């Protein structure tokens, strides 16, 4: 019996997989993660220096992003024929991967893996094109497979109420000069910068009368007060529980939802303003009838790709 394959991954397999993990989403593209190859596997660690002091004071969004990055890592390892299994940690090593028995990647893993580099946040106007039947069920199932939940918000009244909550939270955040300074520090960066959100990826400046209040990433103004989609497809994502490990699970669920959406040809936008303000987060939870706080509002639809964010190099995010 050989034991070498059950210790840890080869350095090159590790580095290649990390090269895919970093394409996970993170608030303002802050990339709050590090990856460590250990004697037993790979640890995904939160990078405390990159947790936003104003936007994410308790590190919730950072833990979510580490979960999303771990999701990418697991897919990349599976597709390399060297799959892993994991446990969630309680210290800075949020996800601890260990090698599992060799097996070929499933067709689903291959599809989701191929979506990693195509996935991105789309802040441009969405077309007035209804999502195809069955899509919402597929996305809900994607969240469930990672022990998360995704609740679609349907009907004019519920959509208007959610939009009003986002607007209220956005107004409250923008009234705080520290929030505005932090947002500015991470945005308006050069297109192609290795962190933060450039103008092209950031989309047009939000219009004051737009239904869904978007953050201002420094883009030029748009003429329309609303995008063409008559009824936005909106959903709220969360995990069962309120422990730190549940934030990581929410990130794994988010990543599977986003990769599934990408694979289905959908564009996705994110709105986290209402979960960043404790009062609106509580009201969103009550409106959904969920026992636990939601993590993110998502919008799905069809829109052309007009800009991507970039990432730091693998060398910048690995430690040994
Ligand atoms: C927790 C979290 C909160 C986010 N909040 C917002 C948001 O409110 N508005 C927005 O346009 N994008 C939001 N994003 C998207 C990030 O800005 C985006 O993931 C990052 O800039 C990297 O770009 P990419 O998703 O295109 O790869 C959020 C992402 C995460 C993970």
Predicted pLDDT at 223:
65
β-pairing, 233-239 with 148-153?
A: antiparallel
How many Å apart are CA 303 and CA 229, to the nearest integer? 10
Ligand 1 centre to CA of 28 (Å) is 6
Full residue range of the structural domain in which residue 159 is found: 135-301
- Decide which of 119, 144, 174 is a domain's last residue: 119
Low-confidence ranges of the chain (pLDDT < 70): 1-6, 223-226
Residues with CB under 6 A from ligand 1: 25-29, 61, 64-65, 120-121, 123, 197, 201, 214-215, 270-273, 296, 309
Predicted pLDDT at 229:
79
50 and 154 together in one domain: no
Task: Say if residues 88 and 246 touch (Cβ distance below 8 Å).
Answer: no
Number of structural domains the chain divides into: 2
The verdict on residue 125 lying in a domain is no
Atom 11, ligand 1: which residue's CA is nearest?
A: 270
CB atoms within 10 A of CB 224: 11
- Decide which of 87, 119, 151 is a domain's last residue: 119
Q: Which atom of ligand 1 lies nearest, measured to the CA of 123?
A: 11
Q: Tell me the CATH number at 11.
A: 3.40.109.10
Predicted pLDDT at 72:
98
Mutate to test the pocket of ligand 1, among 57, 120, 272, 308 (most ligand atoms within 8 A of CB): 272
How many Å apart are CA 200 and CA 189, to the nearest integer? 10
Atom 24, ligand 1: which residue's CA is nearest?
A: 120
The verdict on residue 128 lying in a domain is no
90 and 151 together in one domain: no
Tens-place pLDDT, residues 244-274: 999 999 999 999 999 999 999 999 999 999 9
The verdict on residue 181 lying in a domain is yes
CA 81 from chain centre, in angstroms, equals 25
């Amino acid at each position: 019996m050989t034991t070498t394959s059950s210790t840890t991954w080869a350095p090159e397999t590790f580095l290649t997989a990390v090269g895919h993990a970093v394409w996970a989403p993170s608030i303002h593209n802050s990339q709050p993660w590090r990856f460590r190859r250990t004697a037993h596997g790979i640890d995904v660690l939160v990078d405390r220096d990159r947790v936003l002091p104003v936007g994410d004071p308790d590190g919730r969004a950072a833990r979510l992003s580490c979960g999303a990055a771990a999701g990418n890592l697991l897919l990349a390892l599976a597709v390399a024929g060297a799959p892993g299994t994991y446990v969630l940690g309680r210290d800075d090593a949020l996800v601890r991967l260990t090698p599992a028995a060799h097996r070929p990647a499933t067709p689903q893993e291959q599809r989701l893996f191929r979506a990693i580099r195509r996935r991105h946040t789309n802040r441009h106007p969405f077309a007035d094109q209804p999502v195809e039947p069955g899509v919402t069920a597929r996305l809900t199932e994607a969240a469930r497979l990672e022990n998360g939940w995704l609740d679609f918000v349907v009907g004019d009244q519920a959509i208007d109420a959610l939009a009003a909550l986002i607007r209220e939270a956005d107004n409250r955040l923008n009234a705080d000069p520290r929030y505005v300074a932090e947002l500015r520090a991470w945005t308006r960066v050069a297109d192609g910068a290795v962190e933060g959100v450039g103008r092209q990826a950031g989309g047009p400046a939000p219009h004051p009368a737009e239904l869904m209040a978007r953050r201002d990433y420094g883009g030029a103004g748009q003429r329309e007060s609303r995008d063409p989609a008559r009824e936005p497809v909106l959903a709220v994502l969360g995990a069962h529980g309120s422990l730190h490990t549940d934030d990581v699970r929410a990130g794994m669920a988010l990543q599977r939802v986003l990769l599934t959406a990408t694979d289905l040809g959908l564009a996705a936008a994110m709105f986290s303003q209402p979960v960043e303000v404790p009062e609106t987060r509580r009201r969103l939870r009550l409106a959904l009838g969920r026992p636990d706080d939601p993590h993110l509002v998502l919008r799905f639809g069809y829109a052309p790709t007009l800009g991507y964010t970039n990432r730091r190099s693998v060398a910048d995010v690995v430690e040994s």
